[in-house]
Structure 1
Amino acid sequence: MPLEEIEDEAQELRRLRMPRDGEVFGIVEQLMGASRMVVKCKDNNVRMCRIPGKIRRRIWIKAGDIVIVKPWSVQADKKGDIVWRYTRPQVNRLMNQGVI
């Protein structure tokens, strides 16, 4: 591996984004198309989530990915936006820390 890739991975592990106020962890269960997906959240709600336009082309999400979901103010238990997707090394670190 080139040195740049090693530094990028180390930097990803150093700064893990955690859920802020009102945000929850979730696991993507099913892709629905049109940048919408079904996500099972840690608060035991299954939400229809969408990827906002500002991150739509920057991240690619597949079934089984761990994400941070921000529930909508209206229909908070049924709909939400995906704010962040964790990479595999980040997920492993969260599991080792006991966060998820």
Structure 2
Amino acid sequence: MPKNKGKGGKNRKRGKNEADDEKRELVFKEDGQEYAQVIRMLGNGRCESMCIDGIKRMCHIRGKMHKKVWIAAGDIILVGLRDYQDDKADVILKYQPDEARLLKAYNELPDNIRLNEGIASVMDDEEEGGDDYIEFEDEDIDKI
């Protein structure tokens, strides 16, 4: 039987995100970069995103972020544009929700972008209308 030479298994590798608690500096876009919002995840380290300039692009998640930074639909990301392919880009950075709010406050993001926390509150307001539910009286139930 071979000796175990490692320091643990996959569960030890999972718990390496201790540095998430500390604040990091807000990164703004530079030349050749653009802000985008993820529309949907496609798998294989790719996602479809709508950039601020109005172009829908296929984005590739770089290897440094792959399986370390989890990206979901609705997240605000910073993408690096490609010179030779306008419809493809590379994900450079994922913004945390508080960083995305700061970008919106600095007018880096337009007002029509809805951040993650706004989606749930709008859905709750629609449910209060009660138009989707049908109420039956006792007489109706007896007829059925």
TM over 0.5: yes
1:50 maps to 2:64: no
Aligned pair partner of 1:97 in 95, 106, 121: 106
Q: Which has the larger radius of gyration?
A: 2
Shift of 1:80: 0.7
Task: For 1:33-48, list aligned pairs within 5 A.
Answer: 33-48=43-58
Shift of 1:58: 2.1
Root-mean-square deviation (Å)? 1.1
Give the AA of the match of 2:107. Answer: G
- Runs of 4+ more than 2 Å apart: none
Number of the residue aligned with 1:16: 26
Number of the residue aligned with 2:96: 87
Q: Whose relative contact order is higher, 1 or 2, with alpha carbons under 8 Å and at least 6 apart?
A: 1
- How many residues of Structure 1 are paired with residues of Structure 2 in the alignment? 89
Q: Note the residue ranges of structure 1 that are not aligned, 5 or more in a row.
A: none
Number of the residue aligned with 2:71: 61
Shift of 1:55: 1.8
Alpha-carbon distance in structure 2 between the residues aligned to 1:96 and 1:69: 20
User: What whole-Å deviation, never above 9, does each CA across 1:32-67 have from its counterpart, x for those lacking one?
Assistant: 111111010011111000101122122110000000
Q: TM-score, length-normalised on structure 1?
A: 0.82
Percentage identity across paired residues of the two chains: 30
User: What whole-Å deviation, never above 9, does each CA across 1:3-43 have from its counterpart, x for those lacking one?
Assistant: xx4xx2xx33xx10111211000000011111111010011
